[in-house]
Amino acid sequence: MFIRSTPCLIRNFRALPFGQLRSVSTTKSFDYQTDLQKVPIDKIRNIGIIAHIDAGKTTTTERMLYYSGLISRIGNVDEGDTVTDYLTQEKDRGITIQSAAVTVPWNQHRINVIDTPGHADFTFEVIRSLRVLDGSVTILDAVAGVEAQTEKVWKQAKDLKIPLIAYVNKMDREGAGYGRTVKEIVGRLGTRSVLVNIPYFMQDKTTKEMLFKGVIDVIDKKLLVWDEDQDGLIGDGRKVTVTDIDTAETARPDLYKQCKDARQSVIEQLGDYDESIIDAFLVTEKYMNVPSSIIKRALRKATIDRYATPILCGSSFKNIGVQPFMDAIIDYLPSPIDVDPPDVISSTHLTHSRKSRNKKGFKNKTSESLPTCMDPKLGCIVNNDKHLTTSLAFKVTSHPNRGLMTFVRVYSGKLQPNSTVINSRNGEKVKIGKLLIMNGDVPQEVKSLSAGNIGVITGTDEISTGDTLISHSSSKNVNKIPKKEASAKLLPISVPPPVFSVSIEPTTVADKRKLESSLGVLLKEDPSLKLDYDEESGQMILSGMGELHLDITKDRLINDMKVHADVGKVRVTYKETIICPSPEVIKRVDATDGSGFFKISLSVDSFEGSAENTDYFNGEDDSECHPLEYDNNLIVFDKYAAPDFVRKALTNEDQEWPLSINYEHLMRAIVSGVTGALQVGGKIARLPLHSVVVKIRKWSLPIEATSAAALNQCTRLAVQESLGQLAETSFTLLEPLMRISVFVNDEDLGAVTQDLMSARNAKITDIDEQDNSSTGQDMVWARDQAEKTYIPYDPTMQYIKESQTGGKKVINGEAPLKDMIGYLPKIRSLTKGRGIYDMEYERMQRATPGRVREILEQ
């Protein structure tokens, strides 16, 4: 814990310069920038805070900054003055819209925290944040328990094998249920629980109600009670009364028993995982005598191995329980050297070989995995080169004074300011400026970013989300980096498809340039936005993840960027596809340099489902498959599609490349040509084509060619001509199909189900008890585990309202997005305000002819 073991003590927690030391001893002052740079890699924690909306993520982050001494006053979400919610829209709406990074010093450690949004429309912010984290904290509302978005973000973290701890917040509220929430964590999220602390209640002298006042530290056997100020109001959380429970067996038998019972559950849970716990218990056969250090060591290992989840509780708004929560981040979540090194591949090829792909989908012949290992002092080392620096750009944002800023996670080596890096996506050399760490929107310049750290690159607009940056830790000259290392790539960040769109037009012709440049900035910041051009109407179509997502984007565009534009109503994003293959077309275009002509032959077909699940992607022949960035489209190259001299050069490493144009540029020309043609759209509504495969039979070029521009044009014209030979009846519309979960009380089940099936065209897949909403063998285990999970006595449960105690059901199914628009007021009406729902994109579904007419008429 963060206090000294004493029988009874009152301690004022000062804002110490390097975090709150556990001994509360005096520390020497230090320079924030310099000392943080000296923190060794094993004392770094890269963590995210994830949760359902309004669980208290930003409120908790604000307290972390306050107790670490970085701010002198606690901001309030409702007043719009928190550090991490700094956008105007975040202040006005009281919600987190984009992930914000802060660096917090605590107990001689450096905690890099990313506070993420809780609203489903901003799922991409969570996805790209989790991609660069080593551990994560899930915050839960003690009244609401596990909510829809809680399950979603938990699964996202679990899929990335990120260790988690849970913090049950808002324990001061009426209806808060710690025990109920713990059981939901186990039963619905599918994890074992270890109660690091449990709530402590005191009876109000006036109302006689039991009020949440502190926590019982189960592992260190301490009672911590956060004191109020002299007027009986909420204190700032620095004054805590500490009681040693070990010495209170006679004076406080109830307190001693609570701690003993909880400790027994911890030891028995961890005993199945780590025999050292059982060995320590057998020495005296007393649960209270097992050393705290042994329990913490076992729990840390169990957390990192994702065997169990430490659970803590508190009330961040009331400033109760935050310091133990921060201690738990250090004690149980991993440092960068405690996790597996990242997968790194060296790739100079844009396509995938279906026959020879490795487990990550990269082509083995021209893409190979680079060896990685963990050094206890240096962190990750790639390709046995301790100076090779690899960084992943996971976010780009615009600063009013510093311009575009790129957030990066440094995985190996050391990133130097004012140096040159190689963007391995395109091989371009990029000059970068200063390096920063951020506290909300406040930058702090640093001299370098070492392996395991998160920071910001300034001075360039040539980096996009998902790019891997390669440099040398001791030299600013990247020309000497071997080609294999210069083309190294970390696994990219996947972008979910947008499902809503709006039309945008400049108010006047004079406003067009500013509109386009401002949209360019927004697209750079947020890759989950997508911009298309309607050539017939001249409108720009902006697509996003949801109605709120686009509303916020519109607000930023018009109010923050001062753009004069007319924005249409939010509508569902539809696509087109073909229902029969197009004829093969041969196209020829003269080279722009007069060297000869480019030639290509191709046809177009379609498929259903995800591109990665098709035979095109997973077949056994030697053709090569390239998934396009947008719209679930593919390019498939026949085995002998390339000219003979190109194939020979690719397969013979000793042969000199015969062209002045490198192979990557040729492939990009073909990809760009296909993408441009498919974006022109189909014959029903000129909507971009989705779920199609362009099959390239043969392509050729003059060996003297110096530019690939004609290959781009040739490919684009060939695709357009091939599609142009299809009749309009060969096209159909695709509409977004959503996976839905609707949570209702028993008495509302019939009305809600009827409305879903009749008015929403939903297909119900199952109806289950809410606590048993997941299925499968894993969740059978989880339900059984939840039944056996120990929970402490919770006096506040008696205050739960009658409407909260009835049986609850979850209706799972699929429904077209179009029919789910405006569903929230409907479900509230059907359930008297008690029902809630969650939905997420499942796939694009082909519309029936009748449905096509209905969509076109709207």
pLDDT in tens, 511-552: 999 999 999 999 998 888 999 887 666 678 899 888 888 988
480 is in an annotated binding site: no
Q: What is the CATH number of domain 735-857?
A: 3.30.70.240
- Domain 344-490, CATH among 3.40.50.720, 2.60.40.10, 2.40.30.10, 3.30.300.30: 2.40.30.10
76 annotated among ligand-binding-site residues: no
Q: Residue 654, Cβ neighbours under 10 Å: how many?
A: 4
Contact (Cβ atoms closer than 8 angstroms) between residue 598 and residue 589: yes
170 carries a ligand binding annotation: yes
Q: Is 621 annotated as a binding residue?
A: no
Tally Cβ neighbours within 10 Å of residue 826. Answer: 17
Instruction: Please state, in angstroms and rounded to a whole number, the distance separating the CA atoms of residues 213 and 221.
Output: 17
Is 58 labeled as ligand-binding? yes
Judge if 8-338 and 581-725 fold alike in CATH terms. Answer: no
Find out whether 51 is annotated in a ligand binding site. Answer: yes
Series of mean pLDDT values for 10-residue runs along the chain (858 residues): 37 38 36 67 94 87 89 69 52 56 89 81 82 95 89 90 97 92 92 96 86 95 87 77 91 94 96 93 94 97 97 95 97 96 77 40 56 94 94 87 88 94 92 86 86 93 93 85 91 85 91 92 90 76 88 89 91 94 96 91 95 82 84 93 89 81 91 95 93 96 92 97 96 94 90 94 88 57 81 67 56 93 88 85 91 87
Known binding residue 514? Answer is: no
Answer yes or no: is 729 a known binding residue.
no
109 is in an annotated binding site: no
- Confirm whether residue 53 is marked as ligand binding: yes
pLDDT of amino acid 91: 47
Does the annotation place 387 within a ligand binding site?
no
List 731's β-bridge partners, or say none: 578
DSSP letter assigned to residue 620: S
Around Cβ 208, how many Cβ atoms within 10 Å?
A: 7
Which residues are CB-contacts of 515 (< 8 A; sequence separation ≥ 6)?
504, 506, 540, 557, 563, 564, 565
- The CATH number, out of the four listed (3.30.1760, 1.20.140, 3.30.230, 1.10.3470), of the domain defined by the range 581-725: 3.30.230
pTM metric for this prediction: 0.81
**CATH number for the domain formed by residue range(s) 8-338:** 3.40.50.300
Q: Domain ranges in the chain? A: 8-338, 344-490, 500-572, 581-725, 735-857
- What's the CA gap between 169 and 47, in Å, rounded? 18
| Residue 352 annotated as binding site | no
Q: Is 690 annotated as a binding residue?
A: no
Quick one: pLDDT at residue 440? 59
Q: Any idea which fold 500-572 has?
A: Alpha-Beta Plaits (3.30.70)
> Which position has the token pair 């401002």?
518
pLDDT per residue as tens digits for the range 369-394: 899 999 999 999 999 999 999 999 99
Residue-level pLDDT at 351 = 46
State the Cα angle at 160 between 159 and 163, rounded to 5°: 100
Can you give the pLDDT at residue 772?
Answer: 53
